[in-house]
Each structure stands twice: as structure tokens, then as C-alpha cells.
Structure 1
Amino acid sequence: MVVDARRRVLQCASAGCGYRTDRLPTPEAVRDAAVTHLGQHAQRERLAAHLRSCNCRTAGCAWHVGSRSCTGQIVLVLFRSPGGRSWHLADACETCAGAIPHAARVPMRGPVTVATPEPVRRRPRGGEARSVAEQQAAARAALAYTAASLPPGVSGEARLLAVVCALRVRPTGLAPLPLGITRTLRLRAPAGALAELQEARWLHYLGRPCGGPAAFVPELAGTPGRKRAGQWALQLLADRRTIVLPAPTRLAALAVSAAEDRHGEAFLLDPEGTARSCGLDEKAFEDALADVSTAGVLADWYPLPSGLLLCSLARAGPRRGGG
């Protein structure tokens, strides 16, 4: 949440939100509007326990002084930048939450680590039909989870495969990886990507005689089935426009496309946070955006004085339908 104290105007930096106020009468009104709007995000965007991670660690513990070991439960914290220009609502471990200046824990009613499931339409042949908005949210969560859980130095192909596994994992912790998936993704070295993730102990590859090959992701065991949540992401990653791009650039295309709120409308993007979710620094992410634009996924993008990017996607893209 970006605050223009001089004009007393708020602008939300959350991907796809677009919330912006007119001039507010008093500084207190600015504070109340910021807290109210961030609270609405907290209620609408609860994540399942397995997708919650310390966002401070993902940012390199840049929100507080000194390097600390992330410990304790994940809590929701509200904090402002030292100058008061921006307000943030984020998950953090208890250690980081206690070290972030100007931070307060946000009490949540009920089990904050589990999202309340909404009724979904059932398909005749199994699986859950999910709206594109739900699949976009799942893609954003998978990108955030892999950014926090993968070690530094993991290749782009290994990161892309990890995102796909996170989207396809079943309650058993198994993410089916039939040969058709790796062929569809056209990974240059799928065996090498799997080996990287196994060496990092992020997953265990199982060449099962029955049921086909799968990856076992220990940290995601016990989570709701999400196979259908990955269909939209797979379609984008294997799109004819993106399939020729390097894996990190394809992840950037996925991250940008998942940030669109209303189909066909411009949306705001946080370049720093989105770059981290793709395993890129900001300069590499800027180069990736240029390639995504050249490929015809991103129609236009330009920086705003707030540091955010105003983006619009090209009209041609993955089918806007569930599953």
C-alpha cells in the first residue's frame, strides 16, 4: 500500500487490485483507509498452511536489521516503511515478525493457516473445475512458495518444474509427472532439473511401476488436491509464444499473467516482489519482461513514480475457462 502523504492519497500495490482513493480529509483517515483495505486483503486471500512461508526470508530478511534464522510459526504482520510511505501486510516467521520495525501482528479469527473452501462445480470425469481467477491465485501462491523454499542457485528449469509440482500435488504429497508433462513443457534437461530438486531435498522422484512416475514433495503432503489448479499455468507455460523462451522468462510470463485482475484491463505489478518469485534480480526481470513483451504475451508496461509497473496483457492468451 503506497501512501502519498502530501496529497493524502492511497494506492494499493497488490497484484491486480487497482484500489486507489481520492484525497482523504485527514492523516487519520489515510491510516484508517490503509488498515481497512489491507484487512480486506487478509480476509480474501488466506492461503492454505502449506503455501504460507516467511515473506521476509524470501526478501533476504531486508525488512529488519541483521541476519536471523527463521524460526517459529508463520504469523500475519502489518508494518510500515521507516518513512511511512508504504504499508505492508505479509506473512513472516515469529523471529522476523519480532525484528521488523513498526510491525504489529494481525489477529485472525479462526484457523488463519487454512483457507475456507468455496463450493466448486464438479466435472463428470473427476477433478475440480476451477475458475481462472482461482488458478491465477494458485499460480501466484506456487511461485511464492517455491521462491521461499528453493535454495539459491537452482536453475530456471528446476524452478519451473518445482512450480508445476506445487500446482499438481495431491493430498498424499505426490505430484504426478507423466512423460507428457515434461514433453509439453519442452525442458531441455528434465532429468537434470529433477536431480537438482532431489539434491536440494525439495522432492523425491518416484518411478512407480503402477500409476506412472511422480514426485513426492514432503512439505506439501496433507494438502488438498490441486491437480486442476495447474491447468491454466501449464497452458501458458506451453503456449506457442512462450515455449521457445528460457525457463526464467517463462516463469516471468506466468507471474505477470497471474497478476491480471480483470481480463483485458491494465493492472499494477510490484517488480521487486515478482522478480523474487521468479528467482530473478530486478535487472534480469526487466530483461525478461522485454522478452515476454516481444513474444506477444505482454502488450504494454511502464514504470510509475511509485516504483510499481502498470501492465496490460496482449489479448491473445490462454483460454479463459476453468480446468
Structure 2
Amino acid sequence: MTQTISLVEVGPRDGLQNEKQTIDVATKVALIERLADAGMKSVEGGAFVSPKWVPQMAASDEVMQKIKRAPGVSYPVLTPNRQGYEGARAAKADTVAVFGAASESFSQKNINCSIEESFERFKPIIEAAKADGVRVRGYVSCVLGCPYEGAISPSQVLPVARTLYDLGCYEISLGDTIGAGTPKETKALIKLLAQELPISALAGHFHDTYGQALSNIWAAIDEGVTTFDCSVSGLGGCPYAKGASGNVASEDVVYSLERSGLKTGVNLDKLIETSLWISEQLGRKPGSKVTLARSA
């Protein structure tokens, strides 16, 4: 039986949040709808955060109200606190996400609190979500390295991932925020986490800063992981991690997986069209090698 890999498209949120130019609501809505039409079953719709800190996510409520929701597609949004969660619920979000970190320094820089304090922030969100029947996804940043602390060991990641899972997150997305991790390190991380967490609850979120993202995805697949985050045209990165621009491009992931006999359910041609379109809107070349090769 052909193995199926689930992809979470993060371009409209994690990708666009790092843009310096203003992106209007119509463009965001069109991007989300195009990605769903290409076959992405989970498309991040936005983030209910302070526009002071992340101005590109300021109109997430309007975006969520205007998108035409495709059957069978989830549109997760980021909710860092209870106020954000209430905004997400008002916008009829079906899935929300909370953001933690395996690095104390990054937690302070990214969400202005310690790791332990972040759990206290997340508890009321997760409790409210349980009562409302809303799924909560947990993100852990800096699982393979931190821009401030350097190397991060799997033993630092485990308690954070385990706590998020125990609190009620159905899935833990493991983020290589600075894109420095290697396949060997990825395997070691997954092996340790799988001793205490179901492998089905783990997802990979690999940045391609050092060109390692696809290799790390395959290393995680070897360990049993079947869900991965990706960003159309390689949009974005992390605004708090110097030099860490470049999520792994969705087109490159789909090409590698499908050509290797795995199933993603994504139409590569439509995805490439979307990559070319959003790159034109942003006034740049696509950040995907597959799109550049196919459009040459």
C-alpha cells in the first residue's frame, strides 16, 4: 500500500509574516484558496497576534471571514493567548496553534516569557478549545539549534513536547527554526521523543537555511513521521532568527515525495502555478528549485 504523507501548508502565515511589504487581504485570501485548490488539506490562515509585533497578520480575522472554505480542508491559525483564541473562535477557526520553544532564550525573545510561563499561557487556550471542540496544534521552536544558545539537545526538546501533548495538543510540530539540523540529528531527536510520545503525534517543520530540509524530512520519514510543514515557494522563515529565512518549499517537498512513490494528494502543477503567482505578487523569483526548473 502506498504510504501517505500529510502536508501542512504554512505559507500564508509563517511565510507572509516575515514580509516587509504590506500584503492586502485579497492577496492573502487568493493564496489560501489557491493552495486548497491545489490539494493542500491543511492551510494556515493567519495569526491572532498583536499587529504591533507581527503587522502582516493584522487582518487575519478578515481573511478568515472571506476565504471560501473547501470541503475537507482545515485552516489553522496561531493563537498565543486567550485573547487571540477568542478572536480565532469569532472567525470560526477549526484548529488553533500554540507556540513554544526548546530554548529559554528564544522563548523570551519570541513570546516574551520563559518556557514554563508559556505553558501557563497555553493552558486556558487548550482548556477553552477542548470545551469548544477545537483542535490544538503545538509548535516547538529551535529543536535542532537556537540562534542565541547554539546547539539544542533532544533531552531539552522532550519535556516541552511532552508537556504540550499532555496538555492536549493533538500534534507537536518540531521546528528547526534556524535550519541548521542534519539527518543524523533529526533521527536522534525523533528516536528519543518516540520513546514517550506516539509517533503519530509528531510532525516536522524544517527550514532550509543550510539546505538540509528535504534530507531531514526523509530522515524523519525513516523514523515513522508522516506529517510535515512546508511553505509555497519557500516563503518566510522566522523574524526572530537572524538569517533563518526560507521554509522548505512545498513544491520541492511534493516533487521529492511523489516521485519517490509516496502520496501527498497535492497537484504539483497547480502548486507551481500558485508559487509563480505569489512570487509575482511579491516581486521576486520563486524560492523553489522545482518551480524554477519547471518554469525555465
The structure carrying a bigger helix percent of its residues is 2
TM-score (norm 1): 0.30
TM-score (norm 2): 0.32
Larger Rg: 1
